[in-house]
Homo-oligomer: A and B are copies of this chain.
């Protein structure tokens, strides 16, 4: 098997050895929250809330002022800036969803909320949920584990206790079906630069769940909210091949790689970069996180 490391490197693409290109976004409490490109840091000097932030070109920080001392005040300022960016930044305008992510600081404490489309500009940690729909080898028609693969995989800003809701919205699976079959299986994290080496930094977290079907036919997932177009049941060889062919969203490949590692399909014997891949998809951020 050729190594899957390049697929991981394409997503966990932010350098491990720090350079001085990015600015660090810092809370009023001194805790780092994310990484910003210099253009964004500069824009903070002239934005409508410029009096509430300190941009320091020497130590490369953009720090919230001490008066931003509540969740509400911070969220209000960030909402104002998000709206401002929406007017001038086509990427933010296009990505706008009226959907709020929560940023945490210190760990587990909600610090402010931010429109999804603006989170990438600030470079703060975002959270998603991914559910692997699985027919185990023992229940599959060809004796091989199969996976329900949506035509367009998707991640959303849901908390992990909304997994059941997510199963309905994404695949039309109801609570009575999902609850006895689903289990938490870990979390992956990576720091990507979706717009290249000098583009926005996106630290992302995906909570992973495995949903085990009793047969290939008992319940066919079908899209409800339209984020997936259709679901196809593939065995893992096909999943792996399509992944290598670039048919999956890049961050979804990491979810699949994590699944294949946990279930013994990618092993230290068949993957020469096994350890590197495992640590890269469990990257530790220098930022506080949800949990």
A residues with a Cβ closer than 8 A to B are: 16, 107-108, 159-161, 183-187, 189, 205, 207, 261-264, 266-269, 271-276, 278-285, 289-291
Complex Cα gap A51–B108 (Å): 53
Please, could you name 25 A-B residue pairs with CB atoms under 8 Å apart, sorted by A? A16-B284, A107-B272, A108-B273, A159-B268, A161-B268, A161-B269, A183-B263, A184-B266, A184-B267, A185-B262, A186-B261, A186-B278, A187-B274, A187-B275, A187-B278, A189-B278, A205-B275, A262-B262, A268-B290, A272-B291, A275-B289, A275-B291, A276-B289, A279-B283, A279-B285
Query: Measured between alpha carbons, how far is A261 from B269 in the docked complex, in Å?
Result: 24
Known pairs A278-B187, A283-B284; A291 contacts B273 (CB<8 A): yes
Closest B residue to A281 using CB positions: B282
Q: How far is the CA of A251 from the CA of B205 in the complex (A)?
A: 26
How far apart sit A282 and B254, CA to CA, in the bound complex (Å)? 15
Residues in B whose Cβ lies below 8 Å from that of A205: 275
Contact indicator B290/A275 (Cβ below 8 Å): yes
Residues of B within 8 A of A291 (CB): 268, 271-276
